[in-house]
Homo-oligomer: A and B are copies of this chain.
Amino acid sequence: MKKYLQIHEWKIIEEGFNADNHELSESIFSLGNGRMGQRANFEETYTGKTLQGNYVAGVYYPDKTRVGWWKNGYPEYFAKVLNAAEWAGIEIKLEDEILDLDKCEVSAFSRELNMQQGYLERSFQAKTASGKEVKVKTTRFCSLVDDECGAVRYAITPLNFSGEISLTPFINGDVKNQDSNYDEKFWDETGHGFYKNGSFVEMKTKKTEFVVCTGMQFSLSLDNQAIEFESTQIEREKFTGIQIKTPVKEASTLTLYKYAANLSSLNHPKEELQKLTAETLERVSQKGFEQMLKEQAAAWAEKWQMNDIQIEGDAAAQQAIRFNIFQLEQTYTGKDARLNIGPKGFTGEKYGGSTYWDTEAYCIPFYLATAGQEVARNLLVYRYDQLQKAIENAAKLGFKDGAALYPMVTMNGEECHNEWEITFEEIHRNGAIAYAVFNYINYTGDEAYLASHGLEVLIGIARFWAQRVNWSEVRQQYVMLGVTGPNEYENNINNNWYTNTIAAWCLKYAVEAIEIVKKLNPERLEEILSKIKFSQKEETALFNKIADQLYFPFDEKHQVFMQQDNYLDKEQILVKDLPEGERPINQKWSWDRILRSCYIKQADVLQGIYFFQDKYDLETIRRNFDFYEARTVHESSLSPCVHAILAAKLGDEARAYEFYLRTARLDLDNYNNDTCDGCHITSMAGTWMAVVEGFGGMRVKNGQLNFNPFLPEKWQSFSFHINFRNALLDIKVSAGKVQISNKSNNQIKVFVYGHEQNILAMQQVIVSKP
């Protein structure tokens, strides 16, 4: 936990330079546009502790697996997002001294992330060892409009001397992934060169042979007058830079505009990359920095119109929710079904930067409500496109006949992870992927998706579950042995209630989806079933039989679902009775002790209840909530949001708010002391869910929106926007009332506190809290 940032509704502000916070700030002030992103590294040289990070979406490298002890079935590679060429760097020399904040006296330092307009600004004064003082102000962004481009404006003013200032903007491809397993570099150079006022480095990834050309072009002005200059080219392998030396008078300001482009073979023919990079750079530098920045602000304004949450009366909460939304939008824009949402986005390398079940369980609701439906759909198509790999993945583990097990971690559909208790056993991920199909159709009504893509995925997953269970002679029921649930503080357990629940649901939903497609498009159904050799009668009968005869652990005494077999054999010391000094247990306890304890890392039974809440009456939910919340340590960032939503549903407003607080400022306040590795991007979506589904009480039932909001005590009001089936709604919750504005040209019926409201196009209704 570290609080050093200023509270501001639209900005993240760091004032004063503290090198100890630098890596943390590099994460928090990260920039991205869905296509590329970077940590907030300084433009100028910095020899202090830093994690240099530039990433290009979709470009990965299969790093050779590192294990202690090999287990049959482990994947040979872990596909990682690549630390790519550094494009924002500018080496600064004041006469013969390199400007390096690690070696200077720094004052008036300020760093601001402007979330409203989407740029990063930094200013400082620095005094070098020899006594030279300069003032610097730098602004940069990753352009949403020109999404292969970024730009930097770097203004430097000598304060106590006149002399030569040397600027060397460069492209540096000689970078390494921090998480490289064997300390290897993953790129080979394929070319480098120079333009009139620019240069490029083109590199190819080893093995995967992605090619990325990173170029820059720049111009210079002195006191706002463009100037001509002489320059020296600097080149070595994977590096090009251009040094410009300019005499600058005291108090004059030298400004460098640096335009950068990152073009990848994912989007362009390899042989044209160098030419296209040059053209792109020419185009954006013609457009100019100020125009680009203006367009950036406009593009962000448009996004905020769709996704902003406004909170009155709590600036810290306001800042936090916007930060979460901002980072989600920087990470994934939904334009490209080959991309997904890494748990660290473009803010770090941990977890390989790859796709997890977080996307389906936590992120999809956010994108469904705040973006066009093609965005969530693209996330589904991503999995559809990887179905064959999921089938191969299952086959490696001994499954057959088209059973699909989606990987725990992936870039390209192949499994990357290699802890047996996760890789092979945390199979509930398969359920979340099926659930996302349901969730998407439930929200959008787009049943045609089942016919075009969804059904094949659902059947592959259902086939997996049907093979993964076995018949227990002693119970005379199907059981599911050897799994790890969402609560990763239990490994290799039997009959995890959540996993069994979602498995049974998947089996039933696959059968139901067949019926839906049969109605919508019987020819397409025939085509699919014949393609995947689905024997409709036998297989659907089997799916139904297993779902009906699956065993679900339940405790009669407490009248709660049991997280797994024999859970109550554990010593039941509640979290409230666990000494504060023992927490977080994942730092204080050995792994075996954690496993033997009753403590729950993240919502497990409650995750299932959240997904299928209409199946359970309030009393059931309350009993389970009270039982499991008392045992949950929330040591996953994905946990509190589910508890917040359920607490809200149970009317426990104070606790709902408390859980919300645990997620909202997780990164801004470095709650888990690990944000220096990158922000917790996917759990940010959980924060949005806590507001909209928790405080807003939003649900979609039978194709209709329901709201059941309450106002957290500390707030004066909160409001959010919802894009639902061609309607755009603004919902504002204030003391005792809810105001809903229909911003679209379509009327819509919604339920507020259980009562139907018919809201005409462009109309506003106000409903009082009953």
Contact = CB atoms under 8 A, between A and B. Distances in A.
Interface in A237-270: none
Given A68-B66, A471-B571, A492-B491, A73 B424 contact: no
Given A68-B418, A492-B492, A472 B590 contact: no
A565 interface: yes
Interface in A364-410: 396-398
B68 A586 contact: no
Contacts of A595: 420, 482, 492
Contacts of A535: none
Nearest to A582: B398
Nearest to A65: B68
Contacts of A475: 569
A221 to B, nearest CB: 51
Interface in A473-520: 473-475, 479, 481-482, 491-494
Copies in the complex: 2
A479 B590 contact: no
A562 to B, nearest CB: 11
A591 B419 contact: no
A684 to B, nearest CB: 24
B569 A494 contact: yes
B592 A425 contact: yes
A570 interface: yes
B472 A568 contact: yes
Nearest to A78: B68
A71 interface: yes
Nearest to A491: B492
A419 B68 CA distance: 7
Interface string A69-87: 1011110000000000000
Contact of A590 (B398, B471, B474, B594): B398
A589 interface: yes
A593 interface: yes
Contacts of A420: 591-592, 595
B474 A591 contact: no
Contact of A474 (B66, B472, B474, B569): B569
Nearest to A592: B424
A530 interface: no
A72 B482 contact: no
A745 interface: no
A672 B630 CA distance: 50
26 contacts: A65-B68, A69-B418, A69-B419, A72-B586, A72-B589, A72-B591, A74-B591, A397-B592, A398-B589, A398-B590, A421-B492, A424-B590, A425-B592, A470-B569, A470-B571, A474-B568, A474-B569, A475-B569, A481-B566, A481-B569, A482-B592, A492-B595, A494-B566, A494-B569, A565-B565, A565-B566
